[in-house]
Every structure is written in structure tokens, then in C-alpha cells.
Amino acid sequence: MNEFQGFAEPRRGGWFAMLRFASDGQAEPVLGAGGDPILYADELSATKAALAHVLAYFNGHLVASREIAGGSIKAANIENAERLLFRKGRPIPVHTVKGKKIRE
């Protein structure tokens, strides 16, 4: 039931990266831009793609994609905070009240 899976499966002369989340009843392949399954050349690249997508699901796209690409969690958190605090080049005022930051 509440099972998550990410694995490589041989298909059509290549490999599919397969994902199964708790909300789905069966594993589905990772899809490309056109909506067709991506065919990977070898098992390792398909497994890496499955891992990247499962981590992106659990950690959010920002942290997981940066971690797989070789960034750091600290850099991803700073980027996320700046995106929340600065909109269209204008800072959003933040005030500290008894140790808690509050945005206006």
C-alpha cells in the first residue's frame, strides 16, 4: 500500500527509470518533455534518474536537483530564502518579534 519504489527496468533495447509512489497502484516510467517514456542506454543511468526523481519527491525539487547536480543543501536553502524575501528586485520587510521572523 504505502510503498515507494524507484528502479530500472529493461524495455525495448534500453532501460526505463520506473517510479512508484504511495498514491499510485503501480510503477510508471519517467516521462520526457513530449510525454513519452525516456529510454536510457544502460541500467546505471536509468537507476540514477529514478533516484533523482524519488529524492526530488521527498526533498522538494530545489534541494534534490541541486544535491544530485553537486550543489549543497546550504546553497539551496539560501536560494529559496532569497526567492521568498526578494520579489522583482524589491525586498520584503522582515521584522523579528521575540525571536521569530515575521514578514509584512
Is the model's pLDDT at 10 over the cut of 70?
yes
pLDDT at position 90 is 67
Asked if the model's pLDDT at residue 17 lies above 80, the reply is yes
Where is 75: in which H helix or E strand? helix 73-85
The pTM of the full predicted model, rounded to 2 decimals, is: 0.55
pLDDT at position 12? 82
Per-residue pLDDT reduced to its tens digit, 20-73? 988 778 899 999 888 899 999 999 999 999 999 888 888 765 444 544 555 666
Q: State how many domains the chain has.
A: 1
Banded pLDDT at 6 (limits 50, 70, 90):
very high
Phi/psi for 77 (5° steps) reads -65, -40
pLDDT band at 101 (very low <50, low <70, confident <90, very high): low
Q: Do 49 and 29 touch, CB atoms closer than 8 A? A: no
Q: Which domain holds residue 17?
A: 5-103
